[in-house]
Amino acid sequence: MIRSATGRIIRFLVTLAVTSVLVFAFMRILPGDPATVVLGTGATEEALERTRQEFGLDRPLIVQYWDWVTGIPFGDFGFSFITGQDISPIVLDRLSVSLILVISAMLLALVIAIPLGSWAAVRHSKPDGIMISSGTQIGIAIPNFLAGMLLIGVFALGLGWLPANSWMPPAYDGIQFIQHLILPVTALAAVQAAIMTRYVRTAVLEILSEDWMRTARAKGLSRFQALLRHGLRNAALPVLTVTGIQLTTLVIGAVVIEQVFVIPGIGSELLSAVGSRDLLTVQSIVMLLALITLTINFIVDLLYIFLDPRTAATQG
């Protein structure tokens, strides 16, 4: 198990290093000179050269890369080419907003999907089980942004129960923070809950058909008792894998939801930076998103080893 975990750590670090090189290189091969973007096409060559020196763009690429990548672990992303401001506090603040949305949405999706999917599996041939399966098909077909617009129309504009948009930091007002969080989190979680419910249902159905589950039933346990005592740990393995995948898609889906609900998250900041051609900000945000994705996959790999040590023996 330790050997397998060590191998995954090395693979994670190597993948992270390669990703950082690719992100940096991609931003450098984009057409256009950052100094020209800052000063405009009418700037003199002397002014352009001063700007390049100010932002360190005249240094060798390997030096620029090293300064940038070694600052990331310490939350130092450099200074914006457009505004000249330190982008670190802005990016980290926007990232915290997006993480609140994503983590809350995934927790809500799991709270819905695990019991609902298990119930649908145990009752798969009954009317209520069939109804749940049909409902998840509808949920999967609805895009996040459409779910957000429907929620705004019903609960914000129609009933007036919740705010339609904007954001309230939890440090300012906890009640308003929760009120502003409900609709975007629900919009994000709705589709994920439908997807996760189907995966949980499939995983539990496979477990229920195992011989050892039938043995547990023969000893007098009901389906739910046998599932709780013996089946959920085994069903957790495929569900864990899907949860990791869906968590990364939630990070991307949050970009759209932030636009619908006018939330100042990392996705909104990325779109703003792309629009103004603030390449260093774009570069740092893309790297952060890649880091989050790789970290999620890495954690899922480690949890997989913990839940099923046979994985370590077979994949070493």
Domain boundaries, the chain: 2-74, 94-275
- The rounded Cα 184 to chain-centroid distance in angstroms is 14
Q: Is 127 exposed, middle or buried (0-12, 13-18, 19+ CB in 10 A)?
A: exposed
Quick one: DSSP state of residue 228? I
pTM of the model: 0.76
Quick one: DSSP state of residue 31? S
Is the sign of the CA dihedral 142, 143, 148, 149 positive or negative? negative
- The rounded Cα 151 to chain-centroid distance in angstroms is 22
Average pLDDT in the 250-269 region? 82
Domain 94-275, architecture per CATH: Orthogonal Bundle (1.10)
- How many distinct helices (H) and strands (E) make up the chain? 14, 0
Token pair for 149? 């617009």
pLDDT digits (tens, 9 = 90+) for 146-205: 888 888 888 888 888 888 777 777 778 778 888 888 888 888 888 888 888 888 888 777
pLDDT of residue 18: 92
Backbone angles phi, psi at 33, to 5 degrees: -100, 125
Average pLDDT in the 238-265 region? 79
Given the structure tokens 């007098």, which residue do they identify?
220
pLDDT of residue 316: 47
pLDDT digits (tens, 9 = 90+) for 64-109: 888 888 888 888 888 877 777 888 888 888 888 888 888 888 889 8
- Give me Rg for the CA atoms of the chain: 24
